[in-house]
Amino acid sequence: MNCEVCQLNELEVEHFEIREVLRCILHTILFHRALGLVRPKDVDLELFEITYVQCGDVEVERKIDEKIDQFIDRVEKHPKKKNQICLSFYEVKNKQATWFTNKVEHLYWEQWYINLNVMQHPKTPSGKSHHSKLVVDPGVEAGGARRVALEASLRDVLFQIIKFVNEKKDHVPSIPNLEGFLFPYEITISSSSDSAFRMDMFKRMLQTPHPSMLS
């Protein structure tokens, strides 16, 4: 099985912008890969003049927020490393169990890499807030031009997602018998310099030897 890989354009963000940016991107990808049995939910970003669509599922929102928390924690612990999130879709294949293998194998058919370059500034209280309202430090207003540029870059990423899902269809597996409305997926977080990250990517390359790229 071939795995389609999309490296999304890198975004330069402030610490307090991480949560909204990641929510927007992750929910947009999942919505476009949903199987149709969803109740679309429009969400207006508070920091940008952008509206995106969620699947309207509480469990999906919980999982995404949990992963964003982990991403923010990693950024705080490793501020000088570039961290990325990978959203992977896969099929589940049952294998004959042996003493060194699991019974279930994940066959990845699509992976999305979200790359954020977090600017090194003092943390803001909103960094780990779970509330919808975001507190913006007054000093950030001086970066209005940067914010406008980021908004434009985020729009480009959303168009990049839409272009990918419209052009890359042949690799999408047939609709499985699922209880939910999404293909099986996972969200992983790593620094590009982590040895564990490189090993994980190597293993996935072995499973999917001929990925095609869209950048």
- If one counts the domains in the chain, the total is 1
pLDDT recorded at residue 192? 59
Give me the residues of the chain with pLDDT under 70, please: 1, 95-102, 121-143, 176-180, 191-215
At 195 the pLDDT is 42
Alpha carbon distance 199, 115 (integer Å): 19
- Model pLDDT, residue 148: 94
CATH code of the domain covering residue 39: 3.30.900
The pLDDT score that the predictor gives to residue 129 is: 47
Residue carrying structure tokens 């001929």: 210
Domain housing 169: 4-214
Please state, in angstroms and as integers, the Cα–Cα distance from residue 91 to each residue in 41, 49, 111, 177, 197, following that order.
27, 36, 12, 11, 21
Q: pTM of the full predicted structure?
A: 0.76
58-77 helix and 18-32 helix, angle to the nearest 10 degrees: 140
Find out whether 139 and 35 touch, Cβ atoms under 8 Å.
no
